[in-house]
Structure 1
Amino acid sequence: MKRSKTLVVCAMLGGSIMFSSCIGSFGLWNNLKDWNQGVSNKFVNELIFVAFHIVPVYEIAYLADVLVLNSIEFWSGSNPTASIGEVKEVKGENGEYLVKTNTDGYTITKKGEEKSVDLVYNKDNNTWNAVADGQSFELVKMNEDGTATVSMQNGTSMTVTPDAQGVAAVRVAAGSSVFFAAR
């Protein structure tokens, strides 16, 4: 029994090292955790938490994410457990916003206002576009070499790496912490 547990742990550690390039969003496990946190008070949440470890619900959800769902997300580019239609409140520099998850992106609306901006992912062109008032503007194009071409407010574009250094370069070029404004 002890030998088989050791073998399983070694296999999992070896797999985590070999396949570490795709972490995934762990949507199933996170949805389960979020559900538990929203059930009731902290005592009921703790009881559910302990029960879900005794009956291995959390472990099965985590394993399903690791072996199946994150692989699907990696190869297809979409999260099979994404909560389409879900609306979250986000606090920004200029107020509170409502962000709705769509099948191809997000709809962002400033709280208390009617106007919205859609961020739409075009799978064929591998681009993120802003759509407002019937007009579409390409924001970012993901390139085959792993870089991203970012469209700037002044009509120019720059190619950066999608990491903190690339984000900083875009912020410096834009002249502020705001990435994009309507052209």
Structure 2
Amino acid sequence: MRKLKLSAACLILSGSLICSSCIGSFGLWSSLKDWNNNIGNKFVNEIVFLAFHIVPVYEVAYLADIIVLNSIEFWSGSNPLAENIGTVKTIKGENGEYLVRTNEDGYTITKKGEEDKPLNLVYNKEKNTWNASAEGQTFELITMNEDGTITFKQEDGTPMTVSPDLQGMISARQSNSQSLFVAR
């Protein structure tokens, strides 16, 4: 009886996550599915479909959409993978309005009225890093590691590795706030 109650509770909790109010556009999974639909005839599509379920490509894409991309879409109002290259959106920030242009390898961000001072966020596939460049200077923001963790340099220059979940983000914030208090 206890096992039945636990199973029912797990089923209800799972259902509540699936039926939440923000489902997002699932841009990565949709792009993968659309690519599969256009690679050949229905037999080739079915073979690729089955292969992508055996090697969990669809599952990983779906999980990435649920955890990362749909969260970004919820907070920013747009999914990075659902946008077309060259699309420019206006975002209101604390210090004014910014223009965000989607590039093939990242984004270009400029403050309205200061278009001659862009900030480029560029993804380097070879090194698996996100980099920022502005005013002729480039520096590495984060490195995405093979084990799923993220490494970044703290303000004092020492590297810190965190998991990309809530606990990892809390650790990173606490580390940065402590270094800010020490520096002041």
TM-score norm. by structure 2 comes to 0.53
The alignment's C-alpha RMSD in Å is: 3.8
Residues 175, 69 of structure 1: alpha-carbon distance in 2 compared, 3 angstrom cutoff? farther
Equivalent positions of 1:1-183 (< 5 A) are 26-27=26-27, 67-69=33-35, 74=61, 82-114=83-115, 115-175=117-177
- 1:41 alignment counterpart: none
Mind listing any 5+ residue stretches in structure 1 that lack a counterpart? 1-19, 29-61, 177-183
- Residues of 2 paired with 1:110 and 1:167: CA distance? 27
Alpha-carbon shift at residue 125 of structure 1 (Å): 0.4
% identical equivalent positions: 57
Could you list the per-position Cα deviations for residues 42-68 of structure 1 after superposition, in whole angstroms to 9, with x for gaps in the alignment?
xxxxxxxxxxxxxxxxxxxx9x65734
Aligned length: 121
- Residues of 2 paired with 1:81 and 1:69: CA distance? 14
2:174 alignment partner AA: V
TM-score norm. by structure 1 comes to 0.53
Check conservation: 2:25, 2:82, Cα contact below 8 A. no
Residues 66, 103 of structure 1: alpha-carbon distance in 2 compared, 3 angstrom cutoff? closer
**Worse-superposed segment, 120-129 or 64-73:** 64-73
Mind listing any 5+ residue stretches in structure 2 that lack a counterpart? 1-17, 37-56, 65-79, 179-184
Could you list the per-position Cα deviations for residues 17-52 of structure 1 after superposition, in whole angstroms to 9, with x for gaps in the alignment?
xxx9xx995339xxxxxxxxxxxxxxxxxxxxxxxx
Residues 157, 92 of structure 1: alpha-carbon distance in 2 compared, 3 angstrom cutoff? farther
2:155 alignment partner AA: Q
1:107 alignment partner AA: T
